[in-house]
């Protein structure tokens, strides 16, 4: 059953709040450091493109499995910094354009963590793939069947109404139309080109 974006976003926020309270945190607007930002490294397809990930934690030194990404094997999952880097060169930390609040970043993290629970396989052609859709509705995390690494980043931000890549009418990869889905195929956007549509935070290790 399709869910509205507003309704699913509310559920994600509630889920994050419950998770935070369960570990003794009382302030859910707690995103710090690089938490909620996208990260990239090179070394894909003979270094013709990059690999994208997402910062689940504020930094890569103080936490276990601080990154969520799709490695191309298995499912969208947690990983270490070395697992993400895979002996390649780190290219930077990036955030969506515009004003990004701590509350926004908390919601980004909640969305990425939800993707991690859905056992989403890999797809080379489309950033986000799903079996069926109702035109005008939105594809919620439980309806996604496959993703690329840059699809994790694109979906997290665009599901939460922060545009990354695309035309003025087809930019939202979470919107269920063939045009929006096709706008985010591999011939249109790659992990390397995706960086050009975001704002650089730092080039050093997060």
DSSP string, 4-21: -HHHHHHHHHHHHHHHHH
Give me the pLDDT at residue 5, please. Answer: 65
Q: Is it the case that residue 104 has pLDDT exceeding 80?
A: yes
Average pLDDT, integer, range 108-131: 97
CA distance 83 to 22: 28
85-94 tens-digit pLDDT: 999 999 999 9
**pLDDT category, 23, cuts 50, 70, 90?**
very low
Find tokens 């869910």 and name the residue. 3
E strand spans, 90-159: 90-95, 121-122, 128-130, 144-147
Helix (H, G, I), strand (E, B) or coil at 67: strand
Give me the pLDDT at residue 136, please. Answer: 74
Question: 10 Å Cβ neighbour count for 103?
Answer: 13
State how many domains the chain has: 1
Q: Is it the case that residue 162 has pLDDT exceeding 50?
A: yes
Give me the pLDDT at residue 24, please. Answer: 37
CA distance 87 to 89: 7
The overall pTM is greater than 0.75: yes
Give yes or no for a contact between 102 and 146, defined as CB atoms under 8 angstroms apart: no
**pLDDT category, 6, cuts 50, 70, 90?**
low
Find tokens 């390397």 and name the residue. 192
CA distance 41 to 149: 11
Give residue 179's domain range: 5-202
More confidently predicted of 1 and 14:
14
Average pLDDT, integer, range 21-44: 75
């Amino acid at each position: 059953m399709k869910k509205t974006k507003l309704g699913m976003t509310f559920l994600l926020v509630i889920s994050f709040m419950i998770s935070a309270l369960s570990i003794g945190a009382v302030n859910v607007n707690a995103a710090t450091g690089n938490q909620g930002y996208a990260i990239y490294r090179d070394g894909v397809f003979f270094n013709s493109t990059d690999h994208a990930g997402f910062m689940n934690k504020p930094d890569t030194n103080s936490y276990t499995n601080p990154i969520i990404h799709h490695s191309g094997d298995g499912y969208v999952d947690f990983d270490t910094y070395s697992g993400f880097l895979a002996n390649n060169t780190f290219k930077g930390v990036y955030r969506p354009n515009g004003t990004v609040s701590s509350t926004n970043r908390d919601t980004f993290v909640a969305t990425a963590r939800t993707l991690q629970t859905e056992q989403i396989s890999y797809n080379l052609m489309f950033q986000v793939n799903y079996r069926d859709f109702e035109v005008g509705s939105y594809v919620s995390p439980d309806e996604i069947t496959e993703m690329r690494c840059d699809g994790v980043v694109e979906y997290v931000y665009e599901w939460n109404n922060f545009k990354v890549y695309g035309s003025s009418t087809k930019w939202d990869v979470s919107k269920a139309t063939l045009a929006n889905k096709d706008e985010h195929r591999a011939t249109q956007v790659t992990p390397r080109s995706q960086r050009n549509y975001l704002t650089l935070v730092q080039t050093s290790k997060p």
